[in-house]
Amino acid sequence: MGTDARACIMVIFGGTGDLTYRKLLPALYNLQAKNAMPDNFAVVAVGRRDIQADAYMDAAYKALQQFSRTEVDPKIWAQLCERLYYQKANFNDDGGYYDLKLFLSELDEKHGTGGNRVYYLAVAPEYFPVIVEKLYQNSMVKNRTTSQKVVIEKPFGRDLSSARALNQRITEVFSEENTYRIDHYLGKEMIQNIMVLRFANVVFESVWNSQFIDNIQISSSEIVGVENRGEYFEQSGALRDMVQNHMLQLLTLIAMEPPANLSTESIRDEKVKVLKALEHFTPQTAQEFIVRGQYGAGKIDGKKVRAYRAEEKVSLISNVETFVALKVNVANFRWAGVPFYIRTGKRMQNKGTEIIVQFKRLPQILYFKDYGTLHPNILSIKIQPTEGIYFQFNVKEPGIQNKIVPVNMDFCQNCLAEDNSPEAYEKLLLDVTQGDSTLFTRWDEVENAWKFVESIANAWQTQPTALPTYAAGTWGPLAAEQLLVKDQRQWWQV
Ligand code: BG6
């Protein structure tokens, strides 16, 4: 076997956790199926459970059957098994790291992985600094060299100061270049397409500014509630869980200037500029331009579901938001005066993520004058579950009467893909092994996103109000509709 620059052992802390079973193992399986992983590659799942390797393999196989997007082929599974291991360790016990270190060097011999590591922290956030510290103390990181990388799941801090403290501890051990902060939205196929759509099509980029765009809407709705994550959600709410990361990342890609080139740093530089241009909220503007809500009981697909406050590990008097809608201003030259409306919520009517660009109306003469209404041009970037691009424009309806109607051009990306689009984690895991951090967030992106989100959290703290509830299975509180109605606009339905 020749050594590949991507050769490494991926050490997954949290090897028996939900994320590993639902996302990481299926992603590794599908990469194996596509033969996309280097030959010199192994995976060690590290968990606190005292189970034998066989029992772990059984659990992993069951997880694949349940969560893999492709059917599990026993031949591919057998190939993955040859490089998948389980090792028990307590995350704050030095003995476990000592054993792990020995085990990893044995595997280096067997798989030719040359001491290269990707440490993937798929654990509760309180363990992020603990594990990084222990890896350092047990000489498992050859101080900041390129052969040792760390992947950090969210949440990256709970506010600006905790994020800063966490970042400092991580970057004392791993360099920024070797720190991969995951935002799984960036691995989604259509999100990677946003820059292409904008910067490879003159028809879009030439009108991508306040002169032609009326408003932009970024929506991500979920049908599920908080599931078994009540304890975490009570600390985060929709603002920290979805807006601080995924929603703001979408906004940066839509609003950024063209980068000087396609290098990771040039792209990140432009994204940071957008985050710095976000107008922060004051208690007054938060009151006026942000709507929060919490789901009450309701029906989803005809079945009754309980209210947020009745979920496990949620306070009966919880005031945590499960829905948030906000009107954001990007105060720079390109976007002055164009509102960005963002909304995200759990227990809504549909699962969907979509970005809608509504163009300005033409002068109200000619057709508008004669027919009374003209629909605006709308560009919709559908991120999930349907992936594609939709453009609405006006034509004359065929026939003897003169009627103008909106029609659309619709590109369905996942209808075209032979194989379904890869899951975000497949792309992201591959990028880590290849040392490409373009789809991961740089520290100053995280920092500036926190600054913005903290302006909202602080405003809420000074003006605590009882949250409106919305029935599960609806589009959130009525006030979210009014947020746009008072601007003579409307949400375009996902
Ligand atoms: C996670 C949030 O980051 O994203 C979850 O913590 C949310 O609360 C999930 O459900 C949504 O991801 P997706 O890919 O299903 O839109």
User: CATH no. for residue 87?
Assistant: 3.40.50.720
Select from 184, 383, 423, 428 the residue to mutate for testing ligand 1; criterion: most ligand atoms less than 8 Å from CB: 184
- Cβ-based neighbours of 85, under 8 Å, separated by 6 or more: 42, 43, 44, 45, 53, 103, 107
**How far is ligand 1, taken at its centre, from the CA of residue 101, in Å?**
33
Task: Establish if 173 belongs to a structural domain.
Answer: yes
Which of 344, 364, 330 lies closest to 216, judged by CA? 330
Residue whose structure tokens are 């995951």: 182
Residue with the smallest CA separation from ligand 1 atom 9 is: 242
- Residue 106's pLDDT band (cuts 50, 70, 90): very high
Alpha helices, DSSP H, located in 278-345: 283-289
- The closest-lying atom of ligand 1 relative to the alpha carbon of residue 188 is 14
Is 34 a member of any domain?
Answer: yes
Task: Answer whether 286's CB lies under 8 Å from 460's CB.
Answer: yes
Residues 324 and 345 in one domain: yes
Q: Does residue 325 belong to any structural domain of this protein?
A: yes
User: For 52-104, how does the pLDDT look when each residue is reduced to its tens digit (9 = 90+)?
Assistant: 999 999 999 999 999 999 999 999 999 999 999 999 999 999 999 999 999 99
Residue 379 is assigned to a structural domain of this protein: yes
Give the Cα separation of 250 and 449 in Å (integer). Answer: 12
Average pLDDT over residues 303-315: 97
Q: State whether 199 and 156 are in the same domain.
A: no
Q: Domain count of the chain?
A: 2
The residues annotated with a catalytic role in the active site are 246
Do residues 111 and 9 make contact, with C-beta atoms less than 8 angstroms apart?
A: yes
Residue 368, pLDDT > 70, answer: no
| Ligand 1 midpoint to CA 62 (Å) | 22
| Amino acid 494: pLDDT | 54
Closest CA to 20 of 48, 51, 52, 45: 45
Residue 416 neighbours by CB under 8 Å, 6+ apart: none
Residue 3 lies in a domain: no
Q: Taking residues 375-390, what's their average pLDDT?
A: 94
User: Where is 151: in which H helix or E strand?
Assistant: strand 148-152
Say if residue 195 is in the same domain as residue 170. Answer: no
Q: Alpha-carbon distance 457 to 290, whole Å?
A: 11
pLDDT beyond 90 at 416: no
287 lies in the same domain as 152: no
Structural domain contains residue 271: yes
Q: Are residues 172 and 246 in the same domain?
A: no
CATH number of the CATH domain containing 222: 3.30.360.10
Q: Look at residues 156, 181, 206 and tell me which one is the last residue of a structural domain.
A: 181
Q: Mean per-residue pLDDT for 424-453?
A: 96
Tell me how far apart the alpha carbons of residues 131 and 121 are, in angstroms, rounded to a whole number.
Answer: 8
Residues 137 and 191 in one domain: no
Q: How far is CA 229 from CA 16, 20, 49, 305, 312, in A?
A: 16, 16, 20, 16, 8
Same domain? 117 vs 254: no
Angstrom distance (rounded) from CA 445 to CA 448? 5
Q: Which positions ≥6 away from 355 have C-beta within 8 Å?
A: 194, 216, 217, 218, 219, 250, 254, 380, 381, 383
Assign 155 a pLDDT band (cuts: 50, 70, 90). Answer: very high
CA of 210 to the centre of ligand 1 (A): 31
Confirm or reject: Cβ of 241 under 6 Å from ligand 1. yes
Residues spanned by the domain of 94: 8-181
* DSSP state letter for 330: B
pTM, two decimals, is 0.95
Looking at the fold, whether 241 and 382 belong to one and the same domain comes out as: yes
Domain boundary among 181, 196, 221: 181
> Are 94 and 217 in a shared domain?
no
The band of 465, judged by pLDDT with boundaries at 50, 70 and 90, is confident
Over the stretch 192-232, which tens digit does the pLDDT of each residue have?
999 999 999 999 999 999 999 999 999 999 999 999 999 99
270 pocket-lining for ligand 1 (C-beta < 6 Å): no
Please identify, among 159, 181, 203, the residue that sits at the C-terminal boundary of a domain: 181
Please name the amino acid found at residue 254.
I
Q: Look-up: residue for tokens 């970057």?
A: 171
Mean pLDDT, range 36-46, rounded to an integer: 96
- CA angle in degrees (0–180, nearest 5) for 119-50-151: 10
Confidence of residue 418 (pLDDT cuts 50, 70, 90): low
Please check whether residues 429 and 282 belong to one and the same domain: yes
The verdict on 101 and 209 lying in the same domain is no
Mean residue pLDDT across the chain: 94
Residues 49 and 104 in one domain: yes
CA 96 to ligand 1 centroid distance, Å = 32
Q: Which of 134, 128, 118 is CA-nearest to residue 163?
A: 128
Residue 398 lies in a domain: yes
Provide the 3-class DSSP secondary structure of residue 183. coil
